[in-house]
Amino acid sequence: MSIEVHQVVKKFGNFTALKGISLKIETGELLALLGPSGSGKTTLLRVIAGLEEATGGQVFFLGDDVSSRKVQDRGVGFVFQHYALFRHMTVFDNIAFGLRVRPRDLRPSEEEIAEKVHELLRLVRLDGMATRFPSQLSGGQRQRVALARALAIEPKVLLLDEPFGSLDSKVRKELRQWLRSLHDRLHMTTIFVTHDQEEALEVADRVVVMNEGRIEQMGTPDEVYHKPVNSFVYNFLGNVNLFHCRLEGGKAYIANTPVSIKTGVGPEAQKAKIYIRPHLLEISHEKKDDSFKGVVQFLNSAGAVAKVEVLSEWGEAIQVEVPQERFRILNLQKGEEIYVILKDAKLFNEDYMI
């Protein structure tokens, strides 16, 4: 089912959580709402679900305006951040809840319900857990019960609020890959909220980057990662180094080092900011084009890439990520003088507070 959000505004007293959000989600799409806390992503999800009433604007399901429709009648499966499992009910009763509260003429028989619940338990790989109580389950298991409970009512849309937010990192990674494969099987329109860029980029078909109640950018993970429209998106989607520079004669100067900028050239003689990801910097023992001098401060080679902190000639700490192989060849020492080369810098004129 396709969803369209049109100019949605949500105010809480004097605070405006959503400042006119418009977006369209295609049938069967897996969409991530990504943003820092307070960006309005959860509020948007709750407005779509009907748990929160929008101050202005409309929500359409398959072209129908559902803005004034109650939660119960929207047919959405909602998975809450802290699961919100019914603590006094077993896993079985939790999952069966949505079917048992149906009006009598639409309610399946107890046998049908039992069959459905066991089918869902198999789907979320929790067979044999039917008689447990939520308190007897691990975080990851609770999350999957919440998902099975939401799926039991056969929703047309699945909405997940920070689905992996309170799990430890290993379980998180497993579960998000599982969610992706589940989505590929069920093809249900799914929206999930996250503040974890890695999660959004890895799982979603499309990512909506939000900040302060507005959408900053919408696009495929590739688009938002490689073609960020502004410094906020660039900043939020990964670690960055920030350089203050001035523009002169088609060149950018960081301190007194001229560097060539490939994308986004702003007006002359203006102060601007250059952002560059740690893995797009290179370390060399010799001076090259677009390079500046620095001193190695810290070395950390544990992990997939080696992390090096360099103190630049103008006194700023810069993070560089070096592939392990290159790191071994460089054989860096603390306090050593080296050159840092800028490979692909992004220049933004506007000011964003992160």
Please, what is the minimum distance in Å from the beta carbon of residue 195 to other proteins? 17
Please, what is the minimum distance in Å from the beta carbon of residue 123 to other proteins? 17
Q: Are 341 and 284 in contact (CB under 8 A)?
A: yes
The amino acid at residue 5 is V
Please, what is the minimum distance in Å from the beta carbon of residue 215 to other proteins? 24
Please, what is the minimum distance in Å from the beta carbon of residue 78 to other proteins? 4
The amino acid at residue 228 is P
And the tokens for 75? Answer: 């047919």
Q: Which of 205, 194, 120 is nearest to 163 (CA)?
A: 194
Which residue's CB is nearer to other proteins, number 70 or number 170?
70
Please, what is the minimum distance in Å from the beta carbon of residue 95 to other proteins? 10
Location of structure tokens 């996250």 = 194
Please, what is the minimum distance in Å from the beta carbon of residue 161 to other proteins? 10
Q: Which residues of the shown chain bind other proteins in the complex (CB under 8 A)?
A: 49, 51, 70-72, 76-78, 80, 82, 84-88, 97-98, 101-102, 133, 135-139, 146, 149-150, 152-153, 166
Which residue's CB is nearer to other proteins, number 102 or number 187?
102
Which residue's CB is nearer to other proteins, number 88 or number 326?
88
Which residue's CB is nearer to other proteins, number 76 or number 306?
76
Residue 318, number of CB atoms within 10 A of its CB = 19
Which residue's CB is nearer to other proteins, number 165 or number 258?
165
Which residue's CB is nearer to other proteins, number 79 or number 330?
79
And the tokens for 34? Answer: 């990504």
Please, what is the minimum distance in Å from the beta carbon of residue 76 to other proteins? 6
Please tell me the distance from the alpha carbon of residue 199 to that of residue 275, in angstroms, as a whole number: 22
Residue 237 sits at φ, ψ, to 5 deg, of -90, 20
Q: What is the DSSP letter of 136?
A: G
What secondary structure does DSSP assign to 161-202, as a single string?
Answer: ESTTTTS-HHHHHHHHHHHHHHHHHH--EEEEEES-HHHHHH
Q: Are 36 and 195 in contact (CB under 8 A)?
A: yes
Q: Which of 187, 222, 181 is nearest to 201 (CA)?
A: 222
List, in sequence order, every residue forming a beta bridge with 243; answer none if it has no partner: 274
Which residue's CB is nearer to other proteins, number 150 or number 306?
150
